[in-house]
Amino acid sequence: MKDSIISLLAAFEGENIEKSFPLDYCLPVYHCVSSEDLPHLNRIILYKNIKQFEEDLDYLLQHFQFVDWDEFKEYSKGNFKARKKIALLTFDDGLREFYDIITPVLERKGIYAINFINPSFIGNKDLMFRCKASLIFNAVETAKILPPEIRTILQTDYLSKENIQQRILKISYHQREILDQIAEKLELSFTAFLKEQQPYLSFEQLKSLAKKGFGISSHSWDHPLYHELSLAEQLEATEKSFDYLKENNFLYESFAFPFTDFGVKKAFFDQLFKNRDFICSFGSAGIKLDSVTRNFHRIPMETGENAEKIIKKEIAYFRLKKLLSKNTITRK
């Protein structure tokens, strides 16, 4: 019902997006761009192909002025004056396609981007638990017979393939060892996948990207869902990633929440901003304001729709929430 109402309202949005966009900044977020079927992502991210991505960029270029990190920092301090509303292009997770596919497109179009990485995965040392779930989902799909031990691990006597797949996708960060157990029963080697496919950026690629002028910043150490962590765990996951960035001369002035910042309390931000090097953090709630004014919200661009539809729906939803006085996230 909500999506139908928003889609209806979005249909009435005009073409002058620069005028109707309710904020002075637009923060698109992507994870990956590929025209190939990527088994570690295809069950968890609706990533776009190269043509779709370029069309998104061309649309955004019509309506916004893309900025780099230094310009965005100055904007956040009230010191940067743009020709029109600004856009900072962001990516999450440090996936290899950023180097192989995305960077050549951005260089050709003259667009800067910042990639928020999880140091735990850089160099393909490990695989994020949701990517493991995607691989297992696909392995279950193609398996003729499932080992009975899988149902034991999932603590159930009977589940159909479809139910098992849905259970796998619901396994949380704190339960992630279960994914390793199931993979072993399926004779699925994450180590072999990491070695053969190299899904993440290498350290050398990070350095090359930074030398080209692209930003590398923090997305936590290993991609947990923050509201499921204690305050101490939240701070540890964040500070550990900051140490890695600082040691390697990357950007240690910003942080993008993995998954979402939904449910994260004010106490975390209070501790975070005690770091004098720190400029701002990023959520992913779309066009939204926050009672923590240095927490900026990004627009998820991997919804199965093009940039024009996504932006217009976000504008419509913001207006609707504004009427209800609910367009600002309040932290307690």
| CATH number, domain with residue 310 | 3.20.20.370
How far apart CA 200 and CA 194 sit, in angstroms, is 8
| pLDDT value at residue 1 | 67
Q: Which residue has the higher pLDDT, 92 or 2?
A: 92
Confirm if 117 and 94 have CB atoms less than 8 A apart: yes
The rounded mean pLDDT for the chain is 95
Task: Tell whether 214 and 248 lie within a shared domain.
Answer: yes
Angle formed at CA 107 by CA 106 and CA 109, multiple of 5 degrees: 65
Residue 87 has pLDDT above 80, yes or no: yes
Domain count within the chain: 2
> Which residues have C-beta within 8 Å of that of residue 62, sequence separation ≥ 6?
17
Residue 295 has pLDDT above 70, yes or no: yes
Task: Tell whether 118 and 139 lie within a shared domain.
Answer: no
- Amino acid identity of residue 270, one-letter, is D
How far apart CA 60 and CA 82 sit, in angstroms, is 15
Task: Tell whether 162 and 272 lie within a shared domain.
Answer: no
Closest CA to 240 of 259, 223, 227, 228: 223
| pLDDT value at residue 81 | 86
Closest CA to 322 of 109, 9, 80, 81: 9
Residue 32 has pLDDT above 90, yes or no: yes
Task: Tell whether 226 and 250 lie within a shared domain.
Answer: yes
Task: Tell whether 20 and 7 lie within a shared domain.
Answer: yes
pLDDT class for 9, splitting at 50, 70, 90? Answer: low
Task: Tell whether 147 and 103 lie within a shared domain.
Answer: no
Residue 17 has pLDDT above 80, yes or no: yes
DSSP state of 18: H
Task: Tell whether 50 and 107 lie within a shared domain.
Answer: yes
Write out the E strands in the chain: 25-26, 28-30, 65-66, 86-87, 89-92, 113-117, 215-218, 254-256, 280-283, 289-290, 295-297, 299-300, 328-329
Closest CA to 238 of 193, 203, 274: 274
Angle formed at CA 13 by CA 7 and CA 17, multiple of 5 degrees: 120
pLDDT in tens, 151-202: 999 988 778 999 999 999 999 999 999 999 999 999 999 999 999 999 999 9
| pLDDT value at residue 12 | 67
pLDDT in tens, 126-135: 999 999 999 9
Residue with tokens 């025209």: 35
User: For the whole prediction, is pTM greater than 0.85?
Assistant: yes
| Mean predicted confidence (pLDDT) in 242-267 | 97
Closest CA to 66 of 17, 10, 25: 25
| pLDDT value at residue 7 | 79
Confirm if 310 and 299 have CB atoms less than 8 A apart: yes
Task: Tell whether 237 and 312 lie within a shared domain.
Answer: yes
Closest CA to 91 of 46, 156, 147, 33: 33
| pLDDT value at residue 4 | 77
Angle formed at CA 30 by CA 28 and CA 35, multiple of 5 degrees: 130
Task: Tell whether 34 and 116 lie within a shared domain.
Answer: yes
Task: Tell whether 116 and 141 lie within a shared domain.
Answer: no
How far apart CA 31 and CA 116 sit, in angstroms, is 10
Q: Containing domain of residue 168, as a range? A: 129-195
Residue 6 has pLDDT above 90, yes or no: no
| Mean predicted confidence (pLDDT) in 263-272 | 98
Task: Tell whether 115 and 134 lie within a shared domain.
Answer: no
